[in-house]
Amino acid sequence: MQASTELAYKMRQYIKVVDEELIRKAYDYSFLMHSSQTRDSGDCFFSHPLFVANLLTNLHLDQNTITAGLLHDVVEDTDVTIEDIKSIFGSDIASLVDGVTKLSKFQLQSQEAKQAENFRKFLVAMSNDIRVLLIKLADRLHNMQTLNYIKKPERRHKIARETLQIYAPIAERMGIFTIQNELENLSFETLYPSIFSCICDQLKEFHLDTKDLTQDTLDALEAVFKKHHLTCTIQGREKTPYSIWEKMKRKNIPFQKLSDIVAFRIIVDRVEQCYQALGIIHQTYPVVPGRFKDYISLPKQNGYKSIHTCVIGPFNQRIEIQIRTFDMDAYCRLGVAAHWSYKKPQEHKDGRKYVWLKNALEILESTHDVEEFLEHTKFEMFSNEVFVFSSHDQILSLPKGSTALDFVYALFPTLADYTQLIRINGRPAELHTVLLNGDQIDVHFSHELTICEAWEWFVMTGKAKTAIQKFLKNQKKKQFIKIGIYMFQNAIKHQKLPYVESIIQNIIKQLHINSVQLFWEKLGRNDIQIADVLALYILPSPEIEKNFDPQDANITVHDPVLLEDSSANHRLLSTHIPQIKKFKNVFKVVQMIVVIKNTQQTLEEFMKHVKRHPLYCLSIECIEKNEDYQKISIEFEVCDVEKMTILKNDLIKIQGVDSINF
């Protein structure tokens, strides 16, 4: 039987009407596009998308998702474009393929940033259609199953570490525990082969030692429920090597001291029977204190529901028991896929209804730093949960280790910056108090902002950290803007210059800065030098020279030839000096003393030469005067003293200029 026909056959087991032509077309198209490619194992590359499609049928997904599974690598690994997929298979399938396509041509500064950017794109795609997640997880699972064919150890370790840090937690958050467990164990085996092998050997010994005990415990439990006339299915479940290793590290104990390597699962038809079964277990066997958890009344963020308890079992050993319905058990195996509706897929494909994903997207919207975003979301995914209550008895699930301030940012994101007082269980508490299960939190707010830099150290969740960092960045930005404005105002005040908005706008254009606010911020941060800005301000471009009217700047430009009494210091704003292209950051003030005949013609000719020369004139002052001569002091602010010599040689040629000295 052809593989495409096998796929269609498997789909007909749960889909009434299967578009076999669509499946066959996608199968043939993917096979053709990948025909010249092979995997590291030497197998035809097409074996990979075929595996992904088969796994998606095991999850009972719709035919568009399975079609996208067959096509998910053609855009990334061939010359096919998303537009090609859209024209041949439609927009829905094209959207799914695009969601799982890596940004292979996207260049970032670091490998970590590239991983973060890909993860960001992945989350955004998931938020629109959760089927993207399911395709990607199936893709990653097959890549991990064939990881040993990759020759370079560093590449294998990189993929395994990424899987353990990103994809396994995503599978856990979406409740797909079968995929989560396999991803974790495959990564664990690659990263820590000796530890993995040791735990597997100890598990084999455990099987030999407890094989009869496990079966005897199952028989005893079945007898108890038969006695109470409660129909149920009882299973023994063994912990995975990775979960065993994590527990050994967490509790700092050897393998031999683990008491719950095998857990027993009791599965019933209805929710009320779960509590009936719990009552029977607790009546029959002594309860181990502190080990009871009711995830039916308080489900985990990923939708997991079950009752957990620990008792001293029929053979005087601790046993962990999980009680759930068949629907809950299906969710534990398939996660979101267990609730997939084929008749109305729109009801289930929206990713935003999943709490952890919603939180991750809120973090994404609040930060532009992709590596920071990845770090925050990784924390959210790895964290266990604590359940707390608001003063109005609203239940909130937070990562374990969250503080009172985390609670405020989770429940009151718009008011959190005004937090004044927190009470936990009726008593005043510090903002950084770590929350425990069952805590009730009452929050009081101020009319004024109370947020400060220390708050960043008081929180654990990515949502709170991002909100605080965003506020602090905005505050610093405002401070730098004020500093930039203050620096510039002081500079032009010192130089006795007016503020001219048109010149500022021209400087911003020359520096290729997007806005006035960004210009002041960069100036305040010292990203651009005040001396450079002042040089451009003093020596504006020809366009500004042409349109600039000194009267707009609320100053008057005085010519010495028009002054009867020149004893006062008068400023000139040079409006006829060409734009300079380079400027040194060191200004020098040079004084020129000129003795000149006291005639109208001589003075006019002299001022004409001064104005057209590319030097900024600070002041012109008549310091001595008689009937025949004037002694004039001229101050120039220059960055190149040699230009003063050029000016001197130019001015000395004027008839009536007697002497020039510096």
Residues belonging to the active site:
76-77
Amino acid making up residue 479: Q
Quick check: 320 and 238 in contact, CB under 8 A?
A: no
The conformational region for residue 593 under phi > 0 = left, psi -120 to 50 = alpha, else beta, is: beta
Structure tokens at 27: 């199968």
Angle between helix axes 370-382 and 111-128 (nearest 10 degrees) is 60
Which residues partner with 427 through β-bridges? 424
Q: Do β-strands 262-268 and 318-325 pair in parallel, antiparallel, or remain unpaired?
A: parallel
Q: Which of 110, 12, 28, 120 is nearest to 67 (CA)?
A: 28
Quick check: 144 and 388 in contact, CB under 8 A?
A: no
Measure CA of the first residue to CA of the last residue in the chain; give whole Å: 101
Which residues partner with 389 through β-bridges? 395, 440
Quick check: 203 and 238 in contact, CB under 8 A?
A: yes
Q: Do β-strands 440-445 and 307-312 pair in parallel, antiparallel, or remain unpaired?
A: unpaired
DSSP assignment of 260-286: -SEEEEEEESSHHHHHHHHHHHHHHSP
Q: Cα–Cα distance between 314 and 447 in angstroms, integer?
A: 61
Q: Do β-strands 318-325 and 385-390 pair in parallel, antiparallel, or remain unpaired?
A: unpaired
DSSP assignment of 122-147: HHHHHHH-THHHHHHHHHHHHHHHTG
The H or E element that residue 22 is part of is: helix 20-33
DSSP assignment of 425-459: TTEEE-TTPBP-TT-EEEEEE-SS----GGGGGT-
Question: In terms of residues, how long is the chain?
Answer: 662
Which residues in 175-204 are b (16+ Cβ under 10 Å) and which e?
A: bbbebbbbbbbbbbbbebeeebeebeebbe
Q: Cα–Cα distance between 83 and 302 in angstroms, integer?
A: 34
Q: Cα–Cα distance between 239 and 221 in angstroms, integer?
A: 20
Cα separations in angstroms, 156 against 149, 246, 267, 660? 9, 21, 39, 80
Which residues in 20-35 are b (16+ Cβ under 10 Å) and which e?
A: bebbebbbebbbebbe
